[in-house]
Chain A
């Protein structure tokens, strides 16, 4: 930013820590759960008993110290330590230890309590020097419809598009991964562990999608059922990820991407559709530019379907593009602390020029894979009446979280707060309920219809007709 002086051997005293350091802590505190899909971990070698015990103790103590609810969601946290610690200390492998820690986290039955393995962190570090080259995909986005994993979107110009794969086709296998067996396992979990159906979709889609990712230039074999029920198979060569891989601290790499395109509803209105798949600060500039592009449009649709969250501090910044006055979107309740999601109007554009925030109709598209920061944003704007929400109920995982590196190198993600909207609604476990529920069907996908997008366009048309 600025030129440094030449000589640097003397200094005047400063007695306070730099202010921005404290602010940085604040911002990073809000990193929530949203990770790029990862490969399954390899079996791990042994672990010394002392390290196993220390790792368990650290994970337990971090949650004991920081959980926002001192009742631990009804779990006797002290008794749970006494119950599980002997098993952790007796673990012979990393995988055995992780199973115990994951059981401890699972007892809380709350989102944003996860264990990320040291191996995934090592993969990230290994690829950090060549991020743009390390991530590749085939251009497919998947969803679970009934018990079928279907193609939801095919990216224009992608290997999948070039092969002729169409929305609505059913994915049967990716390389040696049998999709039906993945679905069966998760449905069994749904039955036996009372798992949420949105969690089932997240697990299934995450697992199958992970098989499609890999180094650019490598190939994957995908078996599908086309629109006429015929089995088809393709060997797809992965392209470099068309967006921006983002690495933040000890979280896995996020594959971020922003797209913006005009949409027309048939009555001459111009509507901007802005889509971004994760909340990460390096994408903020592109989001700002996308808003600038449609600042004079008749309406804006934010397509946040499949966006699992990310840096919750971005929520206020993006919301400010659509507010003409400061607005409270909601409050994060942490132990002894209350943080306000206060959005301020964004009156400067990406070129540094004075502008007015977008005041036209704002629609937000969501689905069961929209989680965390996406829910804070959507639920917040919905609660103050600034946006109308279309699609399916969101994931219901809305607990702001931190990460903590454990003694064995694994990373503990742990929730430190609970988000409540401006209207006092708790979204954890419930999710954001759309104003207009739009069910995703295979028939619509095969017909090339995006029903949620069409509903949003109709609404914007009606609002503008009312204006006239």
Chain B
């Protein structure tokens, strides 16, 4: 962390202003009765606990369980994260082994027992950087070019605002915000994989109040006719050794 909380807040305000200006420049007549995307986003931030609460911590450790009931599979995953977008994860799965991935601020990587060590590039690199943005949904202008409210619609049985998101690298995807709670209810997006883009629907089923903030603690992910259930079992914001983000030897060798 090189910036103070105050400086971070100021920078965020500037970025948010720029962000709002971008949206304001492209109104849609058909969207006149719908709340603009910036208002939906601001409401979401408030629903999570507000910007100050979101910026309060600088470390995050989570332990999750991922199950695929129809396939009889279960995995455990632990993740470490720190601002602005440092990230490392390790997933253990019977019959598969350990799948690791990470981003150290410069290099996005993965090590899969089936395919070996890989450097992520192109859209996969951009998506990972966005997804591991520590203060998300703050600092969105680092990754997002535009947002637009399209309609109020049913999403997985919930009345939601459907928002089109345009990433800085040109990708378009959709986010659904619960009209009642203001919380993000789900995402429809093509996830970049080593075998190409994979249409994926993420449904956030549960948030829990933890430390003055709301945490998404249960998600369903639908892809290729399969369903994954992700449950956050425990989480912590205690300080940990930043060496966890160091690149593994295999990745360092790839960079030579």
Contact = CB atoms under 8 A, between A and B. Distances in A.
| Chain B interface main SS type | strand
Contact of A27 (B90, B112, B213): B112
Interface string B205-229: 0000011011110010101111010
B191 A317 contact: no
A282 B238 contact: no
A135 to B, nearest CB: 14
B184 A15 contact: yes
Contact of B69 (A7, A317, A405): A405
Given A13-B214, A22-B200, A346 B60 contact: no
A234 to B, nearest CB: 34
Q: Which of B48, B95, B117 counts the most chain A CB atoms within 10 A?
A: B95
Contact of B118 (A25, A344, A411): A344
A468 interface: no
Nearest to B117: A348
A378 B71 CA distance: 27
B253 A20 contact: no
B12 interface: no
Given A13-B49, A26-B198, A282-B113, A2 B221 contact: no
A248 B114 CA distance: 13
Nearest to A355: B253
Interface string B225-256: 11010101011111111001000111001101
A17 B221 contact: yes
Contacts of B254: 347-348, 354
B195 A26 contact: yes
Contacts of B136: 14-16
A16 B213 contact: no
B204 interface: yes
Interface of A is mostly: mixed
B149 interface: no
B96 A25 contact: no
A16 B232 CA distance: 12
Nearest to B100: A1
Given A11-B60, A12-B57, A66-B225, A342 B95 contact: no
B95 A247 contact: yes
Interface stretch (A195-203, A257-265, A332-340): A332-340
The contact size tier of chain A is 35 or more
Contact of B112 (A4, A11, A12, A317): A317
Interface stretch (B23-31, B73-81, B153-161, B162-170): B73-81
21 contacts: A4-B61, A11-B60, A11-B215, A13-B213, A14-B60, A14-B215, A17-B219, A17-B221, A19-B128, A26-B198, A28-B73, A246-B95, A247-B94, A281-B96, A311-B114, A316-B115, A316-B195, A320-B116, A334-B224, A340-B195, A402-B71
What 7 pairs across the A-B complex have the smallest Cβ distances?
A11-B235, A250-B72, A248-B95, A5-B238, A317-B115, A10-B211, A352-B249
Interface of B: 48-49, 54, 56-57, 59-64, 66, 68-73, 75, 77-80, 88-91, 93-101, 110, 112-118, 127-128, 131-132, 134, 136-137, 184, 187, 191, 193-196, 198-200, 202, 204, 210-211, 213-216, 219, 221, 223-226, 228, 230, 232, 234-241, 244, 248-250, 253-254, 256
